[in-house]
Amino acid sequence: MATPIQTLARLPLIVKMSEYSKKKEEDIEWYSEPFYTHHQGYKMCLCVYPASWGDAMGSHLSVDLYLMKGSNDDQLKWPIQGQCEVELLNQIDSNEHYCGVGVYYDDGHYRVISGERNESSLWGNNKFIRNEDIYKVTSTCQYLKDDSIVFRVNYKLD
């Protein structure tokens, strides 16, 4: 019988969000499948708001990372330790990826997720990338292709 850690993806994780234009027009938020940061790690999912939220509504794409209650919580350090990064991938070339979220989760750095084990917590960036930059196409860079965008999520333990 598979344990829960084996049924969820681990990082680095590549996720594709299709029907970008429809989600943006209809203000639909999109969630990735849950994943673990590492073997016996923290459980998370990626949430993308194509129309953004807050003061960036309509001008940016927003990205949040949700920390979820996971099967390993009793063995993990709290608050969460490490660095999570989310990149919007260039679909033409392996260069020029856009890194809009890079955060350390501990008291000495940028942001602390409280780590309440019975609740979900989030950290995000409502100004992850400007809409005009998503639609921009050059000979070497294209983020939106076939009405889809692709993200890479990675995590590094301190």
Residue 67 lies in a domain: yes
Q: Is the peptide bond before 34 cis (omega within 30 degrees of 0)?
A: no
**Domain at 106, CATH number:** 2.60.210.10
Residue 106 lies in a domain: yes
pLDDT at 2 exceeding the cut of 60: no
Residue 26 lies in a domain: yes
Q: Which residue range is the domain that position 20 belongs to?
A: 11-88+98-128+150-156
- Please give the mean pLDDT across all residues of the chain: 79
Residue 66 lies in a domain: yes
DSSP state letter for 65: E
Q: Please check whether residue 112 is in contact with residue 119, taking contact to mean a CB–CB distance below 8 angstroms.
A: no
Q: Please check whether residue 15 is in contact with residue 46, taking contact to mean a CB–CB distance below 8 angstroms.
A: yes
Interatomic CA distance for residues 141 and 1, integer angstroms? 44
Residue 23 lies in a domain: yes
Q: What is the pLDDT of residue 6?
A: 41
Residue 139 lies in a domain: no
Number of domains comprising the chain: 1
pLDDT digits (tens, 9 = 90+) for 77-135: 877 767 778 889 999 988 889 876 555 444 443 343 333 333 445 567 788 899 999 99
